[in-house]
A and B are shown apart, each in its own frame.
Chain A
Amino acid sequence: MSTRIPNTGRFLDKTAPATFTFNGKSLGGYAGDTLASALLANDQMLMGRSFKYHRARGAVASGAEEPNALVNMGADDRFEPNQRVTTTELFDGLTAKSQNHWPSLNFDVGVINNYVARFLPAGFYYKTFMYPRAAWKHVFEPIIRKSAGLGQAPKARDADRYEHFYYFTDVLIVGGGIAGLQSALAAGQSGAKVLLLEQTANWGGRAPVDGAQIGGKSADEWVTETLAALQALPNVTIRARTMGAGVYDHGYALGYERITDHAPEMDAPRHRLWRIRAKQIITATGAIERPLSFAGNDIPGVMLAGGVRDYLINWGVAIGERTVVVTNNDDGYRTALTLHKAGLKVPAIIDARPNADGDLPNQARERGIAVREGRGIAKVKGGKRVLGVAICLQDGDGGAREEIACDCVAMSGGWSPVVHLWSHCGGKLNWIEEHAHFAPDPKRPPLGDTGEGFVVTSGTASGAMDTPEVLKDAHLAGKAAAKSAGFTPKRSQAPKATATTEAAMAPVWVMPKNATIELKAKMWLDYQNDVKVSDVQLAAREGYESVEHTKRYTTLGMATDQGKLSNINGLAVLSDALNQAIPQTGTTTFRPPYTPISLGAIAGEARGEIFQPLRRTPLHAWHEDAGAYMEPVGQWRRPYCYPRGAESHEDAVAREVTNTRNALGLLDASTLGKIIVKGPDAGKFLDMLYTNMMSTLKPGRCRYGLMCSENGFLMDDGVVARIDEDTFLCHTTSGGAENIHGWMEEWLQTEWWDWKVYVANVTEQLAQVAVVGPNARKVLEKMGGMDVSKEALTFMGWADGTIGGFDARVYRISFSGELSYEVAVPASQGRAFWDALHAAGAEFGAMAYGTEALHIMRAEKGFIMIGDETDGTVIPQDLGLHWAISKKKTDFLGKRAQQRSFMASTERWQLVGLETVDGSVLPDGAYALAEGMNANGQRNMQGRVTSTYHSPTLERGIAMGLVLHGPDRMGEVINFGRVDGTLIPAKIVDPVFYDKSGEKQDV
């Protein structure tokens, strides 16, 4: 059984006990525990079930590489699935539940998959697509959906807050082991700005556990001193609980700081995403131990040898009372010696090498531990925990000679440098035969904007395996990075450390070497996705040669641990099956993040009220107070209508239209884009931007214009006012102001850079109110200040002046067909002006109207709306706007495109009005049916509805639509299809339904 050993555990604060629950059971631990160490201290070896076969699983590692032990953490609005117990710090009140099982962890029905494993081979998922066709939908998909997935999806809104933090540094160092610390010191002493990140709460990495001696002191003492030295340097910032998550182009990196995960009672952001720009990045990311592939290597109690050592020294936890060590290298012996020193039994060290006579094996022998050379594990006995191992010859086929009872197996297949961050942005690797691992090739680093490398590795991450070389490499890395960042490193040496001698390791990818197929089918490569040696070999037999294809076919390395343990073992097995060298097979791509980061951290502050910017006009508060129903228009919110009491939206809209047509309507038009275009070439510029002629416009006058993209499609429209000889004010659509401003700048900056034109977007400088209806002039005359008579301010004219004491620019333009003025005042006075209009207009029936009334009135007049009549495929000619397309101009944006055969075709659908025969409202977007079917067996179409409304003025449904040869078919009745298959007949009519001659707006 796994248990706590008294008086051990360098991370534990025994004065701070913590209570937590696992699957509802209350358990105890200490501050400094991880959830993994606390569970193990309580003999909770079984922590979850595997993904595919639902096999019993416990922790196999002690850190970020852990594939098995994922839990559902917390509850309700702090619930989060797939939390790694080895990186979860224990706190008082923690609640966790195991996942991927039903009905319980101990008794799981899904384990049946384990017994039908031969029906779930490599590529099972893809094979289900193949045959029979109907089986996927009705058999496989429902089953896979039910049995797949690890944790549950959270249901409640996340209670926590998150944030980003932009940080700039000369040197970023990822990893706070002895290498990272030494690199930080070497870089920091040059005066460079240094940021040092460590993913755990503790500094020093593995060195203290492995018993490193530095400068005659213990690693712990050296770490404490070095930390103090770093803290004394003002140019060095150090950050624990912050993982270097990814390295991106040009020295961009992400740091993932977990602020309150270990102390949820803190009132602070839970996670902070550091968005770092570094001149140089040092990855001091250490190494990960590889498992060995023997049958039953996934049974709880089989653990990495380094992990067994970590649990004992760091957290005072003995995984077992009797531990068999199985190894292919000398480092595994450290675990045996550590356990022995703590008084725990090590019945045997199984060494796959034919001879083990180095310093560490001899130390083990001296302590009376049996060393079994040339041996391997044939299989592990046990189900939910280890009961023993069967020993065989490593060179054999697994015929077991002997069994040893034990409750823990500590395995070591050698160490692989953590090359992920080096590789994220293109750093290349070399295969190192001596250690059977990939290590960074310093000659092929990720390249920055200058073509020089911007990442260097430090210590074990470089492939340095012993403390003296680790520190030497780290020291040089720190100095090199500082130098590349433009600083002069101090002349100094790395601290001296005590060397240890280790004999050569032997690559062992399958144990035993000639294992039978039955044994291989129980050798796990990828624990989390249940990929075994037999699966990779099957994939190779089925023709998968590329490691990337094999990864996807077998799902090797595709789980949330991204194959930290399985990668090298998997591609070694593949290489063997393909009969080629490992470097020839290569690795799969390393992608950020290093371990999963929370979605909250990625979103940062963007949630709730500040999920997205919401634009408000100066009158926004009035609309809200008036109970307006708001609709989004771009990022603006505009009043759709102002329902009164229990009034329906439809009734409110009808009231607003009727009142505007009969009395006085007031519209907040502040969102209209307003762009000043000024310069000697402004007229020439606008002639290119608009389809019609703008340069001939006289100061004091307005003209409606259309803008097309260079592909000829209509993209914006609005009224242009000429202010003076050199100055125009262009109104754009509400949603289009920023785009059109950018469009203008792009042409001016990239194509017509020699034209003398400046533009400025003044949309928000002005509050604009449309004063509309037969009483419009009366209210303005009552407020007084300027002459707005028919004679003084003619239709399509504008004038500056004052209205009721407000500085105003008044445009005599109409989008409703009524007598209409648009009045612009400074935004700071907008609300006061709006209030004054309502006060003065009360006697004339003043009433605010919203965007839906605006839409209906323009549709009654047959005016098009960008986004309704246009959808990016419509040209002005489709809309009967030939009158607004200049024939005189030699060029304008879109002209050439509009002359192309398809654009000039008479077969393009054309704008018409539509009146249903029965007076009802056509469904929006409905298609007009034509005879016959097309090549795809679909009904032929001859048109579609672009805008459709109930007109309160005409008391019937009116619509606009694009119809084949439409303008030539006036009076013809065509059928529109409803979704339910029935038809609505509608007559093709003129699109102007109301006041065709325009008398009402010109009074």
Chain B
Amino acid sequence: MSNVVSALQGVSADGYVEVQEMGLQGMLTLRGDLSMAKLAKAVKAAVGVEMPKQRKINLNGQTGAAWMSPDELLLIMPHAQATATAAKLTKALGKTHSLVANVSDARVVFTLSGKGAREVVAKLAPVDMQALKKGEIRRSRMAQVPAAFWLSGKDEITIVAFRSVATYVFDLLANAAAPGGEVDAY
């Protein structure tokens, strides 16, 4: 066993939609005044994307930024770069009132792949999954726990949840994706 492991170490389930735990993902929480040019510049320098608009996610390869609230962003990068990126961002923001926290290990990441990916999410989250567009993120809940998700490919959705409930979320998704549960309403 490696010293550095994700919550479920890549577990997967084959239903009518495939559920896959994606291993470790670098993630930072940035809190601050998102309208400040200095903040936008620091974000661009840290993860190489523009400041996302409300409920949007800007991705560029393995890095990106997602809008989480009027004063919070989720920054994405490879796990190994999270500490360095946090330091760089903190330095760039200097005296600007803000908070940067490495939350990579507080999270678990799943993907759903398959034609029914949207409807599987719609069984658990009160979100109009039929209307969700590429480049949008929803910060919502799945059954009884918080979750955020976005379209990460054709028929693929990436889901972020808290690490302590990784097993619960995996079981939820596997259950919702179990064969026979096809809704076919979209």
- Interface residues, chain A, CB within 8 Å of chain B? 161, 163-168, 195, 237, 239, 266-269, 272, 275, 277, 604-606, 609-610, 612-618, 636, 676, 678-680, 756, 758-760, 762-766, 806, 826-829, 831-832
Contacts and interface: CB of A to CB of B under 8 A. Distances in A.
B105 to A, nearest CB: 4
A240 B59 CA distance: 41
A806 to B, nearest CB: 8
Contacts of B7: 618
Interface string B153-174: 0000000001111111001100
B12 interface: no
A208 B179 CA distance: 37
B131 A168 contact: yes
B181 interface: yes
B98 interface: yes
A609 B171 contact: yes
Interface of B: 1-7, 24, 29, 31-32, 71, 79, 97-99, 101-107, 119, 122-131, 143-145, 162-168, 171-172, 175-176, 178-181, 183, 185
A826 B1 CA distance: 16
* From A166, A237, A606, A636, residue with most partner B Cβ within 10 Å: A166
Given A166-B127, A272-B183, A765-B101, A605 B175 contact: yes
10 contacts: A161-B178, A267-B179, A275-B126, A609-B171, A610-B171, A616-B164, A676-B101, A680-B97, A762-B101, A765-B104
The 6 closest A-B pairs by CB, nearest first: A268-B180, A827-B105, A758-B99, A764-B106, A168-B128, A615-B164
B99 A827 contact: no
Contact of B162 (A239, A266, A764): A764
B185 A167 contact: yes
Contacts of B32: 758
Contact of A827 (B122, B143, B144, B163): B163
Contact of A828 (B5, B127, B130, B143): B5
B144 A613 contact: yes
B122 A166 contact: yes
A702 to B, nearest CB: 19
Given A165-B185, A613-B145, A828 B97 contact: no
Nearest to A831: B5
B126 A166 contact: yes
A165 B172 contact: no
Nearest to B131: A168
Contacts of B1: 831-832
A606 B144 contact: yes
Contacts of B167: 614, 616
Contact of B24 (A614, A678, A680, A828): A828
A612 B144 contact: yes
Contact of B99 (A277, A610, A760, A828): A760
Contacts of B105: 764-766, 826-828
Contacts of A610: 143, 168, 171-172, 175
A618 B166 CA distance: 11
B146 to A, nearest CB: 10
A605 B172 contact: yes
Contacts of B103: 760, 762, 765
A267 B179 CA distance: 8
Nearest to B122: A166
A671 to B, nearest CB: 8
Contact of A161 (B119, B164, B175): B175
Contacts of B130: 168
A218 B34 CA distance: 64
Given A828-B105, A832-B5, 12 more contacts: A163-B181, A166-B126, A168-B128, A605-B123, A612-B144, A617-B164, A676-B99, A758-B99, A762-B103, A764-B164, A765-B102, A827-B106
Contacts of B24: 828
Given A605-B176, A610-B172, A760-B29, A828 B122 contact: no
Question: Per DSSP, are chain A's interface residues mostly helix, strand or loop, or mixed?
Answer: mixed
Contacts of A604: 143
Contact of A605 (B5, B6, B143, B165): B143
B35 to A, nearest CB: 15
A105 B63 CA distance: 71
A212 B143 CA distance: 46
B3 A166 contact: no
A828 B175 contact: no
B66 to A, nearest CB: 15
B157 to A, nearest CB: 15
A758 B175 CA distance: 37
Contacts of B123: 163-166, 605
A267 B183 contact: no
A617 B7 CA distance: 9
Contacts of B179: 267
B4 A760 contact: no
Nearest to B98: A758
A267 B175 CA distance: 13
A552 B172 CA distance: 42
Nearest to B162: A764
Nearest to B2: A832
A269 B172 CA distance: 14
Nearest to B168: A613
A618 B126 CA distance: 29
Given A615-B165, A679-B97, A829-B3, A165 B31 contact: no
B127 A636 contact: no
Contacts of A612: 144
Nearest to A749: B71
Contacts of B99: 676, 678-679, 758-760
A168 B165 CA distance: 28
A236 to B, nearest CB: 11
Contact of B106 (A168, A195, A636, A762): A762
Given A606-B143, A615-B165, A762-B103, A832 B3 contact: yes
A850 to B, nearest CB: 18
A268 B15 CA distance: 12
A167 B171 contact: no
Nearest to A277: B128
Nearest to B182: A268
Contacts of A758: 31-32, 71, 97-99
A534 to B, nearest CB: 50
A496 to B, nearest CB: 33
Contacts of B102: 762, 765, 826
Contacts of B164: 615-617, 636, 764
B185 to A, nearest CB: 5
Contacts of B2: 832
Nearest to B174: A610
Contacts of A165: 119, 122-123, 183, 185
A898 to B, nearest CB: 32
Contacts of B145: 613
Nearest to A679: B97
Contacts of A762: 101-103, 106
A676 B86 CA distance: 15
A192 to B, nearest CB: 14
A762 B127 CA distance: 26
A765 B168 contact: no
Contacts of B127: 166
Contacts of A764: 105-107, 162-164
B101 to A, nearest CB: 4
Nearest to B108: A764
Contacts of B97: 679-680, 756, 758
Contact of B180 (A269, A756, A766): A269
B116 to A, nearest CB: 12
A167 B122 contact: yes
A268 B185 contact: no
A268 B178 CA distance: 8
Nearest to B127: A166
A615 B168 CA distance: 8
A161 B167 CA distance: 19
Contacts of B125: 166
A97 B158 CA distance: 49
